[in-house]
Amino acid sequence: MASKDGRIDLHIHSTASDGTLTPQEILAAAKDLKLCAIAITDHDTVDGTLNAQESGIPEGLEFVPGVEISADIPAPFPSGGSLHILGYFIDPQEPELERALKVLQDARADRNPKIIRKLQSLGMDVTLAEAEEISGGGQVGRPHIAQALVKKGFVNTTREAFDYYLAKDQAAYVGKYRLSAQRAVELILKSGGLPVCAHPFSLEFSPDVLFDFLSQLKDWGLAGLEVYYPQHNPDMVARYFDMAQKLDLLITGGSDYHGASKPDIQMGTGKGDLFVPLELYDRLFAYHKETEAQAGCFEIPPGKDLGLLEEALGYNFETPELLLEAMCHSSYVNEHPDCTWTHNERLEFLGDAVLNLAVSDMLMSKYSENREGDLSRLRASLVNEGQLAEIARSLGIGQHLLLGKGEARGRGWDKNSILADSLEAVFGGIYSDSGYADAFKVIKNLIAPLIPEEVAVAAAQDYKTRLQEYAQSKLRITPSYELIREFGPDHEKTFVAQAAVNKEFTSQGRGRSKKAAEQDAAREVLILLGQEDPA
């Protein structure tokens, strides 16, 4: 029976990593606390999840197979904090995930003796065997070594052990091997899971940097953000909630319960004021089921009617294999080494050149009197990832793609980068199939409607480009943009964006899309700078 308040906890550690309760004890405690759903998310191991599943999940409790993977913060982002990626609804026995976690566990095992030796060199008579005994046969980590130090009387609390000896930059600290952030996300996706960025406060990023970082993770397949967490104060929760909504990320939360090693954190309630509602689990589960259902459509060629795509393109291939190749992402070939065709990267390379030539042809013909600089800017506004992705969506390319499991589960069929690359591969395929004339005809049909009647109008209305060129050349500053708010019904939203060159030259604009609002804001700043007529 679900509790009246519908409380869940999607971040719990067991004795399989650095918690003090066994998976069975966690299940029993969750049942006693009337939690509706939990996830066991041990560090770099799925043993706790497997153990819980094997022992049987109590009736009325939803159980999410999970893991928490330590990952490196990628350049160019600051590396002072720590990054953990949670994986929900994973297949804990997926072979590639198992192999990667084994590497992490072996690295952890190599690290522990080094920590012990450093502590011993500082005069503390503590052994690895004592830490292993405390772990109860689970994975040994710094929390167990910290507990051994408390037990031997060298420190009063595990917090002291970390603050004085075990934390980064302290006397007994030893660096830890981590997966790259992109690899961690890929592994979770490949195992059928949903990757979620854990406790974002621990990254120690400014809000702007965090937003950019989460955007990068989302490009790799990130599905959610852990908004509700004991160390997140109300301002942080509001900020992370807003970021998740802007980036279309699922919102999750959990206590990060470890048991006796973190006595101030309780399962389900954190420090007493944590409440993660059941509806977040419902959304997470629904998204997982939808993604799994969609993913199956992108793995096996039979059933893909490429004739529909040919009809949308207005071109029939003499060699149909070229269109199949254009639809084949490298992730599919990597997972199907026995397939008889290659991925689309060579066709994409060719198609990029054909597209730029064709658009240049059209612009030179239409605007014979205009300067090359104006034409270059106009071509850039027509041939870019966002624009090409929208054209690909209009053709229905996403539904025809061949993707590996990870990319499919990461919704690769709707990623701008994959759609744009696949469209260029189609152009390369048409060129290979019958030459430039037919490729030009298809490209013209798709691009010509987007070309404005006057190049001066196009150049003048690209306010963001003009503002960037002026600000960088005259002020040595790059403009920044921020979405301030949005309002109105879903089918008719209005967006408000702010453009800033510095504190003196800042203004807001409105539009029916984020891009339009940013353009309007850029125009307002150009007016402030005296570079645009206010009329």
Closest CA to 108 of 148, 138, 153, 63: 138
Two tokens, residue 455: 């190049």
421-460 core/surface letters (b: 16 or more CB in 10 A; e: else): bbbbbbbbbbbbbbeeeebbebbeebbeeebbeebeebbe
Averaged pLDDT for residues 509-521: 85
Pairwise CA distance, residues 521 & 507, whole Å: 6
CA distance 128 to 116: 6
Name the pLDDT band for 4 (thresholds 50, 70, 90). Answer: very low
Is 504 assigned a ligand-binding role in the annotation?
Answer: no
Residues whose CB falls within 8 Å of the CB of residue 489, separated by 6 or more in sequence, listed in order: none
Query: In terms of pLDDT, which residue wins out, 43 or 290?
Result: 43
* Token pair for 48: 């706790």
Taking each helix axis as running N to C, give the angle between helix 345-366 and helix 436-447, from 0 to 180 degrees, rounded to the nearest 10. Answer: 70
Q: What is the reported pTM?
A: 0.65
Instruction: Please check the confidence at residue 88 and state whether its pLDDT lies above 70.
Output: yes
55 membership: H or E segment, kind and range: helix 47-55
Does residue 113 carry a pLDDT above 70?
A: yes
* 3-state SS, one letter per residue, for 117-130: HHHHHCCCCCCHHH
Arithmetic mean of pLDDT, 427-439: 97
Average pLDDT over residues 383-403: 91
Determine what percent of the chain falls in helix, strand and coil, rounding each to the nearest 5. Answer: 55, 15, 35
Q: Are 197 and 222 in contact (CB under 8 A)?
A: yes
The mean-pLDDT minimum among 8-12, 81-85, 354-358, 510-514 falls in 510-514
Reported confidence tier of residue 535, pLDDT bands at 50, 70, 90 = low
Q: Is 424 annotated as a binding residue?
A: yes
- Dihedral in degrees, nearest 10, Cα atoms 74, 76, 81, 83: -20
Q: Give the Cα separation of 200 and 87 in Å (integer).
A: 15
**Tokens 């550690």, residue located:** 13
Nearest-CA neighbor of 259 among 7, 29, 10? 29
pLDDT, position 223: 95
Q: Which two tokens stand for residue 486?
A: 């949005």
| Statement: residue 187 has pLDDT above 70 | yes
**CA proximity to 230, closest of 269, 204, 197:** 269
Look at residue 334 in the predicted model and tell me its pLDDT: 86
Q: Decide if pLDDT at 442 tops 70.
A: yes
> Which one of 62-71, 394-403, 468-477, 502-511 scores highest in mean pLDDT?
62-71
Quick one: what percent of the chain has pLDDT higher than 70? 94
Q: Flag whether pLDDT at 301 surpasses 70.
A: no
Measured in degrees and rounded to the nearest 5, phi and psi for residue 432 equal -65, -30
Residue 389 CB partners (closer than 8 Å, separation 6+): 416, 417, 419, 420, 423
Cβ neighbours for 217, distance < 8 A, ≥ 6 positions apart: 181, 185, 195, 197
Contact assessment for residue 17 and residue 48, using Cβ atoms and an 8 Å cutoff: yes
Alpha-carbon span 29 to 27, nearest angstrom: 5
Average model confidence (pLDDT) for the chain?
A: 89
| 426 — pLDDT class (breaks 50, 70, 90) | very high
List Cβ neighbours of 358 (8 Å cut-off, separation of 6 or more).
Answer: 427, 436, 439, 440, 443, 444, 447
Structural domains for the chain: 8-99+178-293 (3.20.20.140), 110-166 (1.10.150.650), 299-455 (1.10.1520.10), 462-528 (3.30.160.20)
Mean pLDDT value across residues 299-309: 66
Query: Tell me, what's the pLDDT at 489?
Result: 66
- Which residues on neighbouring strands pair with residue 57, listed in sequence order? none
Higher pLDDT, 297 or 389: 389
pLDDT for 516: 80
Pick from 97-106, 146-155, 402-411: least confident: 402-411
pLDDT at 302 over 50: no
Instruction: Quickly state the pLDDT bin for 16 (edges 50, 70, 90).
Output: very high
Task: Give the mean pLDDT of 299-308.
Answer: 64
HSE-CB at 508 with a 13 A cutoff on CA atoms is 9
Instruction: Name the residues annotated as catalytic.
Output: 352, 424
Whether omega for the bond prior to residue 92 falls within 30 degrees of 0, making it cis, is: no
**Which tens digit of pLDDT belongs to each residue from 336-390?**
888 778 999 999 999 999 999 999 999 999 888 778 877 887 888 889 888 899 9
Q: What is the pLDDT of residue 3?
A: 41
201: tokens are 């406060």
Q: Residue 78: pLDDT band by 50, 70, 90 thresholds?
A: confident
Q: What is the predicted pLDDT for the residue at 295? A: 64
Within 344-435, residue ranges assigned H as helices are: 345-366, 372-382, 385-395, 405-409, 416-434
Per-residue pLDDT, 340:
79
Distance in angstroms (rounded) separating the CA atoms of residues 189 and 511: 35
Beta-strand relationship, 224-228 and 8-12: unpaired
What is the average per-residue pLDDT within 273-281? Answer: 96
- Measured distance CA(35)–CA(62) in Å, rounded: 9
Tens of pLDDT, residue by residue over 124-177, are: 999 999 998 888 777 788 888 999 999 999 999 988 999 999 988 899 998 888
348 annotated among ligand-binding-site residues: yes
Judge whether residue 475 has pLDDT over 80: no
Q: Is 87 helix (H, G, I), strand (E, B) or coil?
A: strand
Structure tokens at 42: 């041990």
Distance CA 217, CA 182 (A): 7
Least Cα distance to 521 among 495, 499, 506 occurs for: 499
CA nearest to 87, candidates 296, 370, 356, 284: 284
How confident is the model over 34-68, as pLDDT tens digits?
A: 999 999 999 999 999 999 999 999 999 999 999 99
